[in-house]
Structure 1
């Protein structure tokens, strides 16, 4: 009986750890793209501004530039469904000649706020 409980406990701990190992924290994703925390704040502000009015429409775009670092990009509404907006970010970090693409999703909570969701 004790061995069965120990085995079950180990299995639960291992299964619980799997998503942690597979998921990258947002800070790591940002750093791997070559963005600074200040760049992310500019991106986040641009996305917030896109979502501040009525529900955005597919194809809407907003450009952003961080004058302090030189990073820049564009945010495009890729899809709107189920009270969620799927955004496509085209980002060119300072010093890079290559544009990178990231997709995010924000969903409205009960209070009407747009929350970044997985």
Structure 2
């Protein structure tokens, strides 16, 4: 399995780009490298949220898919570190047979929102 190092900020920006249509070179390059679309990132993020909302559940996993792109994957809550969680993603961009690994780190803010962190 190939391990990709993708800044967590990229995932947050990808969701924003899907909504606004605005693109920056670093993000577009990162999205090309992963093979996932901004919509894929958003679906992946939404699916993973059930692992830590309303309370983190280490070891729990979920699957997701995007019929439009053919991308699919799974997410597992790897660990809880104080107010933060680390989610391990296995993604199959555009239906690829071989999974790519992504990790995201999210921390709960004082107002209860979960924010992607580096």
TM-score by length of 2: 0.72
Task: Kindly indicate whether the alpha-carbon contact (under 8 Å) linking 1:62 and 1:76 is maintained by their aligned counterparts in 2.
Answer: yes
Q: Which structure has more RCO (C-alpha within 8 Å, separation ≥ 6)?
A: 2
Q: Which runs of 5+ in 1 are unaligned?
A: 1-22
For residues 3-22 of structure 1, the aligned pairs below 5 Å read none
Q: What's the counterpart of residue 100 of structure 2?
A: 100
Asked if 1:60 corresponds to 2:60, the answer is yes
Q: Give unpaired runs (5+ residues) of structure 2.
A: 1-6, 11-26
Superposition deviation, residue 96 in structure 1: 1.8
Cα RMSD after superposing both structures: 1.9
Describe the superposition over 1:32-56 as per-residue Cα deviations: whole angstroms up to 9, x where unpaired. 11001111111121123333322x2
* Corresponding position of 2:32: 31
Query: How many pairs are equivalent?
Result: 95
Larger Rg: 1
Q: Say yes or no: does 1:84 pair with 2:70.
A: no
> Runs of 4 or more off by more than 3 Å in structure 1?
none
- Tell me if structure 2 keeps the 8 A contact 1:61–1:77: yes
C-alpha distance in 2, partners of 1:82/1:25? 20
